[in-house]
Chain A
Amino acid sequence: MTGSVAIPAVAVASDAERRELPVWRLLLRRPTFVVGGLLLLFWIVCALFGSAIAPHDPLAQQLLATNQAPSSAHWFGTDQLGRDVLSRVVVGAQTILIIAPLATAVGAVLGTALGLVLGYRGGVVDLVAGRIVEAVLALPAILVIFLFVVALGVSTITQILTIGFIFTPLIARTVRSAVQVESQLDYLPAARLVGDRSARIMFVEILPNVLPTVLVEFTVRLGYAIFAVATLAFLGFGVQLSTPNWGTDINANYVLLSAGYWWETLFPALAIASLIIAINLVADAIEQVLAG
């Protein structure tokens, strides 16, 4: 058994009680988190109070002032119906910020549960599920989501569930491998020796230890959910609530790019980019902090 003797490279806790900073304090020390967090906060405020902030009514058409280039009256110009692009961008955060987090939450909950069962149980179920997951993953997620939305029609619920269900195997795969790492550790046999059953071992013993993985996975997937919602809208399957939608606006206007009317496409695109980058910065910071 000499092979398993571990001589720790660093001092095994040299003090009986080491103090450690809470995770949120460590996060606030990271510039990427602060920048990303502020940007994200900005869009959340826009989503909540957009109509109060927007300089114009985003729906008001001015058919005499269509396709106006950016000016002091219309900072981001106007679109082909003469609507104020800035106002539409400010208000447009709402749809995406409703659908994407809910969809990610659906995927995270189902994926974590599935990953726990597959990773802990293993065996035949794991093999069969693994095959099916791999078959689905052979198609790019965005393609699958697109096909489902085309089939089921455009609605908020459809988009949330479709994206959530597609995320489920992706998140399950990550959670499963984290669970398999945990399964090598001796605290699981220790729990079995007390007479604990599988369900308790999975949800009380293992789950808290894979939660950091789930958290990182959630933030990364949230970025991808926004990607997916925006892409669907760009392809002409955007949810039309009472408020404008960035992707739908791009879909309506991008053909005018060749005519030189770039502002009505570029600004919504930059809005999408800034939201995704914000989430990405936050995700990066969380990952770095949790990795130590």
Chain B
Amino acid sequence: MAIYLLRRLGLAVITLFLLSVIIFFAGQVLPGDPARAILGPLSAESAVRALDHQLGVDRSLVTQYSSWITGLLHGNMGESYQYQSAVEPLLRAALVNSAKLAAFALVVIIPLGILGGVIAALYAGRPIDRIITLTGSSGAALPEFVTGIVVIVVFSVELRLLPFPPQIQPGAPLGTQLRALILPAVPLVFVLFGYIARMARAGTIEALESDYVRTATLKGLKRVVVIYRHVLRNSLLPTIAVIATQTGYLIGGLVVVERLFNYQGIGNLIFHAANAKDFPMLEAAVLTVGAVYMVATVGADVLTTVLNPRLRTEASR
């Protein structure tokens, strides 16, 4: 088991390293000169050169990468070009805001998605199943800003129930903060519902059709007990992995949602950094998104392994 965990973590570290390389070199391919971007198009060529040298972008790529990654490993994310200040505190604040939004969406959607999927499976082929399935898959395919606009028009413009754009003051009472999160969370919930419900439905149907559920039913167990003890235990395992990958997505989907609602999270940060060609900020933020995804998937893998006896046996070999 310990060996399995180490191997899984090792793989995650390798992937993260690959990702850092890809991000770094992709960042270098971005056309445009950072100093030129900072100083503006009218500044003198010599001033641009000097700033390039000061920023260190005139060194060889490998040197730049190694100094960047060394800095990162020591907790130094460099200095933002656009704000002329350290990346780390800005990123941290944005990440906290995004985490609030993501956590709120997940808390709502995990039980809802699972419930929807299980209900659809229990009534597989009936109208209620088709409705849940089609709503789910359509919701998952719609861009966040489309669903976002619809809810803004309905709840904010017409009904005036919820504030737009939502403002979150750090010191505001929890109730106000949560209220402000409702609108931006809706588009995320829409997207996630489809994925989670689909997986929960597939797993539940597979379990319902299995021989062991037939065994349990023919033992004379109550339907509720059969579903609770024999179906859900097996059907929800694969759903865990989906929830984990969607956590990664969530952080990315925030770019659009945070733009639409002008919410100061990591998505908005990435958007502005990309527009301003603010490489240190952009690279650090994107790598953070990747790291969150990796942590979530590793966590899900470990959880699935612990909960599934068969995988547990294989892992301890």
Q: Do chains A and B touch in the complex (CB under 8 A)?
A: yes
Chain A positions within 8 Å of B, measured between CB atoms, are: 32, 131-132, 134-136, 138-143, 146-148, 150-153, 223-224, 227, 230-231, 234-235, 250, 254, 257-258, 260, 262, 265-266, 269-270, 272-273, 276-277, 279-281, 283-284
B157 touches A146 (CB 8 A): no
Any chain A CB within 8 A of the CB of B248?
yes
Q: Is the CB of B150 within 8 A of A269?
A: yes
Q: Is the CB of B274 within 8 A of A276?
A: no
The docked-state distance in angstroms from the alpha carbon of A138 to that of B164 is 32
- Is B290 among interface residues, defined by CB-CB distance under 8 A? yes
Encoded as 1 (CB less than 8 Å from any A CB) or 0, chain B from 143 to 180 comes to: 11111011011001110000011000000000000000
A147-B286, A276-B142 are contacts. A138–B153 as well, Cβ < 8 Å?
Answer: no
Chain A residue nearest to B246 (CB atoms) is A140
A262 B157 Cβ-Cβ under 8 A? yes
Are A147 and B26 in touch, CB under 8 angstroms? Answer: yes
B14 to A: closest C-beta gap in Å:
6
Q: Is the CB of A284 within 8 A of B289?
A: no
The 10 closest A-B pairs by CB, nearest first: A140-B252, A135-B18, A151-B30, A143-B252, A138-B290, A135-B19, A269-B149, A223-B141, A150-B274, A262-B153
CA distance A234 to B164 in the complex (A): 18
Cβ of B313 under 8 Å from chain A: no
Chain A residues, Cβ within 8 Å of B282: 147
Which residues between 112 and 168 of chain B lie within 8 Å of chain A, taking CB atoms? Answer: 133-134, 137-138, 141-147, 149-150, 152-153, 156-158, 164-165
A266 to B153, CA, bound (A): 8
CB <8 Å contact, A139 and B141 = no
B125: min CB distance to chain A, Å: 10
Contact A266 B149 (CB under 8 A): yes
A residues less than 8 Å from B252 (CB atoms):
139-143
In the bound assembly, the distance between CA atoms of A132 and B249 in angstroms comes to 18
CB distance from A6 to the nearest CB of B (A): 15
Contacts of A270 in B (CB 8 A): 146, 150
Is the CB of B85 closer than 8 A to any CB of chain A?
A: no
**Measured between C-beta atoms, what is the minimum distance from A119 to chain B in Å?**
20
List residues of chain B with CB within 8 A of the CB of A254.
145, 149, 260
Contact A231 B26 (CB under 8 A): no
Q: Is the CB of A139 within 8 A of B290?
A: yes
Nearest CB of A to B188, in Å = 12
Residue total for B at the interface (Cβ-Cβ under 8 A): 50
Among B144, B253, B282, B290, the most chain A Cβ lie within 10 Å of the Cβ of: B290
User: A227 and B141: CB pair below 8 A?
Assistant: yes
A277 touches B249 (CB 8 A): no
Q: Contact: B274 with A146, CB < 8 Å?
A: yes
A148 to B27, CA, bound (A): 9
A-B contacts, 22 listed (Cβ < 8 Å): A131-B11, A135-B18, A135-B19, A136-B19, A138-B294, A140-B289, A142-B252, A142-B255, A143-B289, A148-B26, A223-B141, A230-B145, A234-B143, A234-B260, A235-B259, A258-B164, A265-B153, A269-B146, A273-B147, A273-B150, A281-B138, A283-B137
Q: How far is the CA of A134 from the CA of B15 in the complex (A)?
A: 7
Given contacts A131-B18, A135-B15, A254-B260, are A147 and B274 in contact (CB under 8 A)? yes
Task: State in angstroms the CA–CA spacing of A283 and B16 once bound together.
Answer: 34
A sample of 7 more A-B contacts (CB under 8 A), given A134-B15, A223-B141, is A138-B15, A150-B30, A231-B256, A234-B143, A234-B260, A269-B146, A273-B142
Give the distance to chain A from B206, nearest Cβ to Cβ, in Å.
Answer: 13
> Are A227's CB and B134's CB within 8 A?
no
The majority secondary structure among interface residues of chain A is helix
Taking the nearest CB of chain A, how far is it from the CB of B166, in angstroms? 11
From the candidates A32, A151, A223, name the one contacting B134 in the complex (CB within 8 A): A32
Whether the Cβ atoms of A230 and B137 lie closer than 8 Å is no
Within 8 Å by CB of B141, from A140, A266, A280, lies: A280
Q: Does B270 contact A (CB under 8 A)?
A: yes
Q: Give every chain B residue within 8 A of A140 (Cβ-Cβ).
A: 248-249, 251-253, 289
Find chain B residues with CB under 8 A from A152 CB: 31
Report if A234-B256 is in contact (Cβ < 8 Å); known contacts: A131-B18, A135-B22, A139-B290: yes
Taking CB as reference atom, which chain A residue is nearest B133? Answer: A284
Contact of B316 with A by CB under 8 A: no
- Tell me the complex Cα distance, A258–B153, Å: 9
B residues near A141, Cβ cutoff 8 Å:
252
CA distance A150 to B26 in the complex (A): 12
A258 to B274, CA, bound (A): 27
Q: Find out whether the CB atom of A139 lies under 8 angstroms from the CB atom of B293.
A: yes
Residue of A nearest to B149 (CB): A269
Distance between B198 CB and nearest chain A CB, rounded to angstroms:
11
Interchain nearest-CB distance for A165 vs B (Å): 12
Q: Report how far A230 CA is from B252 CA in the complex, Å.
A: 16
* Known A139-B289, A142-B252, A277-B138: A230·B22 in contact at CB below 8 Å: no
Q: How many Å lie between the Cα of A141 and that of B255 in the bound state?
A: 12
| A139 near B19: Cβ-Cβ < 8 Å | yes
CA distance A281 to B142 in the complex (A): 13
In Å, the complex CA distance between A1 and B251 comes to 51
Judged by a CB distance under 8 angstroms, whether B104 is at the interface is no
A230 to B286: give the CA distance in the assembly, Å: 22
Interface centre among B29, B138, B144 (most CB of A within 10 A): B138
Q: Chain A residues near B249: list those with CB within 8 A.
A: 140
Q: Which residues of A contact B142 (CB under 8 A)?
A: 227, 272-273, 276-277
